[in-house]
Amino acid sequence: EVQLVDSGGGLVQPGRSLRLSCKNSGSTFGNYALTWVRQAPGKGLEWVAFIRSKTYGETTEYAASVKGRFTISRDDSKGIAYLQMNSLKTEDTAVYYCSRLYYYYFDYWGQGTLVTVSS
């Protein structure tokens, strides 16, 4: 079974950086694509980024709202995916969830980690 645990959230000032982690404690991690989804306070779900498996070159895709500022990566030896967030803006304040992207849907989710961008 896939079990994802998100961590790394916290309070950060605008313009600073933060790195989120998503650790898998279940089955084979390296075979699947992984994604990050966020939910701002009072708003809906927003897809952020995903990274394909090593089989597909670990290539990445990003939402327009974070492209150039966020970087998704993975370390399959540790069973961890990362979301490096640079040049943070107040509008990046949200709960961030990692999820397994299985074919074209998100089937397993982490519990979420809260990022607050504020001065």
Partner 1 sequence: QSALTQPRSVSGSPGQSVTISCTGTSSDVGGYNYVSWYQHHPGKTPKLMIYDVSERPSGVPDRFSGSKSGNTASLTISGLQAEDEADYYCCSCTDISTYVFGTGTEVTVL
Q: Does residue 8 bind partner 1 (CB under 8 A)?
A: no
Part in contact with partner 1 (CB under 8 A); list of ranges 24-32, 43-51, 71-79, 83-91: 43-51
Residues near 103 by beta carbon (within 8 Å), at least 6 away in sequence: none
1 in contact with partner 1 (CB under 8 A): no
Binding mask 75-114 for partner 1 (x = CB under 8 A): ----------------------x-x---xxxxx-xxxx--
For partner 1, the binding residue among 44, 57, 77, 119 (CB under 8 A) is 44
Q: Report the chain's terminal Cα–Cα distance, integer Å.
A: 40
How far apart (Å, rounded) are the C-alpha atoms in residues 63 and 102? Answer: 19
Residues 40, 110, 8, 61: is their CA dihedral positive or negative?
A: negative
